[in-house]
């Protein structure tokens, strides 16, 4: 049983990954990372983006939905420290209002591709009975892709940017409130940390890298499992987004959004002691976002919280998992699917 709780999405994913023949020699990383890694340095990822699961029409426009879907997929390319090359998009378009929805999506997809300087390389178009379905394949290239599996005991855990804004937006919407502009924007037009990941990989030895799509706790659980280590996070160090603090009323009530709210698309990485510290100020100047140490890697397994505030938070009920009952209490963070 994983420290993130029994069963659920992660186990189900692993059971699928174990299915079928093993990959041949031209596949360098077959499964279990943000992207598959192919011979010649290509990395490939696929991401589903479903109406009423990942977004709702009442929350964002179709243009923003297209932007967000492409950016979320490109975030997996960032998580390999790879350069984005292109995307393929498979759409299931509801028949009602199909051309208006298509116009919006096309505009948002184009903006996201332009922002990341990558091309739309094809796709598939089909009807959907009612809800919009967007699936994005992201393709990138890396000389030395960074995996989830390289964390070692003694490494430090760092994150880019601030956490919890996207979850705060969802919580506002779910509470019947319109989020403030900056909080809303974090959800509607997230940023894939593509340049940031490569900048870091060129300057320090990043031992493991992941993007925060399922929440810091859940995603560091993936790093811990892939690396065969424990990750110990200090809640007091987590850079809770000011927008999340404002929306939640206090840092303490915003902490669950930062720890377990997914889809911030920031990066979390591990590095040898002191190495990230040496570039943190340059990073902040270059990208305008902080680089923050949030914990350490230790011998053992799983993710745990240690330090002030750790007792108030139940990691067993946190971490984004589509296939468990909605979490409750402190971990009942805003997610579209927690209806």
Q: Given the complex with a copy of itself, which of 25 and 274 has the nearer CB atom?
A: 25
Which residues face 295 on adjacent strands?
157, 233
3-class DSSP state of 123: strand
To a copy of itself, the closest distance from the beta carbon of 207 in angstroms equals 21
To a copy of itself, the closest distance from the beta carbon of 32 in angstroms equals 7
3-class DSSP state of 262: coil
DSSP string, 45-90: EEEEEEBTTTB-TTTS-HHHHHHHHHHHHHHHHHTTTPEEEEEEEE
To a copy of itself, the closest distance from the beta carbon of 307 in angstroms equals 32
- Exposure letters 53-83 (e unless 16+ CB within 10 A, then b): ebbbeebbebbbbbbbbbbbbbbbbbbbbbb
Q: Given the complex with a copy of itself, which of 95 and 144 has the nearer CB atom?
A: 95
Q: Given the complex with a copy of itself, which of 47 and 155 has the nearer CB atom?
A: 47
Angstrom distances, CA of residue 198 to CA of 79, 109, 267, 282:
9, 23, 11, 14
Q: Given the complex with a copy of itself, which of 162 and 217 has the nearer CB atom?
A: 217
Q: Given the complex with a copy of itself, which of 191 and 230 has the nearer CB atom?
A: 191
Angle at 41 between CA 225 and CA 91, to 5 degrees: 80
Q: Given the complex with a copy of itself, which of 19 and 58 has the nearer CB atom?
A: 19
- How far is residue 131's CA from residue 106's CA, in Å, rounded to a whole number? 17
To a copy of itself, the closest distance from the beta carbon of 19 in angstroms equals 4
Residue among 249, 269, 230 nearest 177 (CA): 249
- Exposure letters 9-25 (e unless 16+ CB within 10 A, then b): bbbeeeeeeeeeeeeee
- How far is residue 326's CA from residue 339's CA, in Å, rounded to a whole number? 8
Q: Given the complex with a copy of itself, which of 285 and 325 has the nearer CB atom?
A: 325
To a copy of itself, the closest distance from the beta carbon of 162 in angstroms equals 25
To a copy of itself, the closest distance from the beta carbon of 157 in angstroms equals 24
Which residues face 296 on adjacent strands?
156, 232
Q: Given the complex with a copy of itself, which of 108 and 239 has the nearer CB atom?
A: 108
To a copy of itself, the closest distance from the beta carbon of 92 in angstroms equals 5
To a copy of itself, the closest distance from the beta carbon of 54 in angstroms equals 7
Angstrom distances, CA of residue 287 to CA of 195, 268, 274, 282:
9, 16, 20, 9
């Amino acid at each position: 049983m994983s420290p993130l709780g029994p069963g659920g999405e992660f186990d189900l994913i692993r059971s699928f990954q174990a299915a079928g023949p093993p990959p041949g020699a031209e596949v360098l990383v077959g499964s279990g990372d943000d992207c598959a890694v192919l011979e010649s340095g290509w990395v490939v990822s696929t991401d589903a983006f479903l109406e009423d699961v990942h977004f709702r029409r009442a929350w964002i426009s179709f243009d923003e939905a297209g932007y967000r879907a492409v950016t979320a997929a490109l975030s997996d390319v960032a998580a390999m420290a790879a350069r984005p090359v292109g995307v393929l998009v498979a759409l299931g378009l509801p028949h009602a209002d199909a051309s208006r929805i298509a116009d919006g999506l096309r505009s948002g997809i184009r903006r996201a591709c332009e922002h990341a300087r990558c091309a739309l390389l094809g796709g598939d178009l089909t009807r959907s009975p009612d809800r919009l379905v967007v699936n994005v394949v992201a393709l990138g290239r890396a000389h030395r892709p960074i995996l989830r599996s390289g964390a070692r005991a003694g490494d430090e855990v760092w994150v880019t940017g601030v956490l919890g804004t996207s979850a705060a937006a969802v919580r506002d919407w779910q509470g019947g409130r319109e989020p403030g502009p900056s909080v809303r924007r974090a959800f509607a037009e997230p940023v894939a940390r593509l340049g940031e990941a490569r900048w870091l990989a060129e300057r320090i030895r990043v031992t493991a890298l992941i993007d925060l799509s399922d929440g810091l706790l859940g995603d560091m659980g993936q790093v811990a499992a892939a690396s065969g280590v424990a990750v110990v996070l200090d809640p007091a160090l987590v850079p809770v987004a000011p927008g999340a603090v404002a929306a939640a009323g206090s840092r303490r009530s915003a902490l669950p959004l930062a720890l377990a709210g997914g889809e911030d698309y920031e990066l979390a990485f591990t590095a040898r002691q002191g190495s990230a510290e040496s570039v943190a100020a340059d990073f902040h100047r270059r990208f305008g976002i902080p680089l923050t140490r949030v914990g350490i890697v230790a011998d053992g397994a799983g993710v745990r919280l240690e330090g002030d505030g750790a007792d108030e938070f139940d990691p067993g009920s946190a971490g984004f998992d589509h296939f468990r009952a909605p979490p409750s209490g402190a971990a009942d963070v805003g997610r579209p699917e927690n209806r």
